[in-house]
Amino acid sequence: TPAHSNLLPKKKQALQRFLRVIHNIFNVIGIFFNSVKIFVSHGLSLAFSPVLTQTGKNCTLSR
């Protein structure tokens, strides 16, 4: 029947659209996690750099 043969491409299109949406969602999640990772590592380095310089000064002073 022509109706049945017309249904298959529609299903395929729907599946492709669905996969594209999922792909986009994963892209967004990946970008989000990357920025969070960069932000966290940057924040940690900012938080720890004064401590590290302080301990470095203390080490050179104790010598």
Distance CA 35, CA 60 (A): 36
State the residue for tokens 């203390």: 58
More confident residue, 14 or 63: 14
Residue type, 25: I
Q: In sequence order, which ranges of 1-63 are alpha helices (DSSP H)?
A: 2-62
pTM over 0.85: no
In angstroms, rounded to a whole number, what is the distance separating the alpha carbons of residues 12 and 20?
12
Looking at the predicted structure, is the pLDDT value of residue 3 above 90? Answer: no
| Residues 25, 13: Cα–Cα separation, whole Å | 18
Which of the 8 DSSP states describes residue 1? Answer: -
